[in-house]
Amino acid sequence: MKTHLLLIALFLFLFPQNQSPKKGIYHSGWIDLNKNGRMDVYEDPKADIERRISDLLSQMSLAEKTCQTATLYGYDRVLKDELPTPDWKNQIWKDGIANIDEHLNGWGPGSKSVYATDIEKHVWAMNEVQRFFIEETRLGIPVDFTNEGLRGVAAPVATSFPSQSGLGHTWDTELIREVGRITAQEARALGYTNIYAPTLDVARDQRWGRVEDTYGEDPRGNRNRRSFVRRL
């Protein structure tokens, strides 16, 4: 829930009042997320974070709370639309959703979308999706945009690094920290707020399908490998 409150603050920065004249919810320093004409505690950026969380939870229905435990996979995976449509008001996420994963990231079936390949159009589209959750859901809880980032952000315009197993072979923790910094910076620039990286699992069985997504193996008694992972 703290993540959602941080996203509210970010949205306020991205969408000042004069950018959405059709809505009367934007005010100086706060957004009337539940559209009731007054500042509720959870809408007050100066209020204690725990009070904001409690106030928001007290207003949420069971359906809204349930939706905040769910992931909606992005365009052409589960979500059929690149941008919000009127039918979204009839879908499960009409009450909000915890996160949309890999939306318009240019991978898989949706790789040909112009909103994935053109950076300016991509950022605009991500903001338009976020606008739906702020403006069209009852409580205005923003969505968390998630994406893969195991060897850089999963996007055609982002930097691609070696696999984590390859990076692990360098034994260079400062280099890997820099990879993480670049991945986070590029993800944020593309509108993603939560990146699935790094994977700190260590491989114990070569038959596991994601061995390449680890920094190395952990055979019994290999203290050096475990020490390297801890230093990260």
If DSSP codes are grouped into helix, strand and coil, which group holds residue 56?
helix
pTM higher than 0.85, yes or no?
Answer: no
Query: Is the Cβ–Cβ distance between 8 and 33 less than 8 Å?
Result: yes
pLDDT > 90: what percent of the chain?
70
Output the pLDDT for position 200.
Answer: 83
| Rounded Cα gap, residues 138 and 94, in angstroms | 8
Report the half-sphere exposure of 22 (CA within 13 A, side-chain side). 3
Q: Reply yes or no on whether the pLDDT at 9 is more than 60.
A: no
pLDDT band at residue 161 under the 50/70/90 scheme? very high
The β-bridge relationship of strands 30-31 and 26-27 is: antiparallel
Output the pLDDT for position 93.
Answer: 96
78 torsion bin: left (phi>0), alpha (psi -120 to 50), beta (else): alpha
User: Tens digits of per-residue pLDDT, 26-45?
Assistant: 999 999 999 999 999 999 99
| Rounded Cα gap, residues 215 and 146, in angstroms | 22
Output the pLDDT for position 20.
Answer: 47
If DSSP codes are grouped into helix, strand and coil, which group holds residue 12?
helix
pLDDT band at residue 230 under the 50/70/90 scheme? low
| Rounded Cα gap, residues 203 and 218, in angstroms | 6
Output the pLDDT for position 110.
Answer: 81
- For residue 182, give the nearest of 165, 197, 169 by alpha carbon: 197
Q: What is the CA radius of gyration of the chain?
A: 20
Output the pLDDT for position 17.
Answer: 41
Report the half-sphere exposure of 151 (CA within 13 A, side-chain side). 15
Looking at every residue in the chain, the average pLDDT score rounds to: 87
If DSSP codes are grouped into helix, strand and coil, which group holds residue 103?
coil
Q: Residues in the chain, how many?
A: 232
Write b or e for each residue in 37-53: b if 16 or more Cβ atoms lie within 10 A of its Cβ, otherwise e: eebbebbeeebeeeebb
pLDDT > 70: what percent of the chain?
84
Q: Which residue reads 């809408």 in tokens?
A: 43
User: Tens digits of per-residue pLDDT, 169-181?
Assistant: 999 999 999 999 9
Which residues lie closer than 8 Å to 193 by C-beta, 6 or more apart? 3, 7, 10, 144, 145, 146, 187
Q: Reply yes or no on whether the pLDDT at 8 is more than 70.
A: no
pLDDT band at residue 98 under the 50/70/90 scheme? very high
Query: Is the Cβ–Cβ distance between 183 and 152 less than 8 Å?
Result: yes
Least confident range of 58-72, 122-136, 212-226: 212-226
| Rounded Cα gap, residues 183 and 145, in angstroms | 15
User: Tens digits of per-residue pLDDT, 101-158?
Assistant: 999 999 888 888 999 999 999 999 999 999 999 999 999 999 999 999 999 999 999 9
pLDDT band at residue 12 under the 50/70/90 scheme? very low
